[in-house]
């Protein structure tokens, strides 16, 4: 990655972090609606694994 691209990425890093956290929270709410006695740690692991797979899929396309 070039210097300009790196600078631009750094300028938006906090936005990217906030967006990712929002996505995790979104799917936590979805899991919570569907499963009243949710194991939040297990749900978080599933959510994060699905997000990583989606990012990997995007990267390889």
- Segments making up each domain of the chain, as ranges: 21-61
What contacts 46, CB < 8 A, 6 or more positions away? 31
For residue 33, the model assigns a pLDDT of 75
Confidence (pLDDT) at 32: 81
Residue 36: φ, ψ to 5°? -60, -40
Tokens at 28, concatenated: 């936590």
Distance CA 38, CA 33 (A): 9
Q: Positive or negative, the Cα torsion across 24, 29, 34, 40?
A: positive
Model confidence pLDDT, tens digit, residues 20-61: 999 999 998 888 877 778 888 998 999 999 999 999 999 999
Side-chain half-sphere CA neighbours of 16 within 13 A: 6
């Amino acid at each position: 990655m070039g210097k300009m691209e790196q600078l631009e990425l750094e300028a938006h890093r906090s936005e990217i972090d906030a967006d990712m956290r929002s996505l995790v929270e979104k799917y936590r709410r979805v899991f919570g609606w569907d499963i009243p006695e949710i194991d939040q740690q297990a749900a978080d692991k599933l959510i994060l694994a699905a997000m990583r797979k989606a990012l990997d899929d995007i990267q390889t396309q």
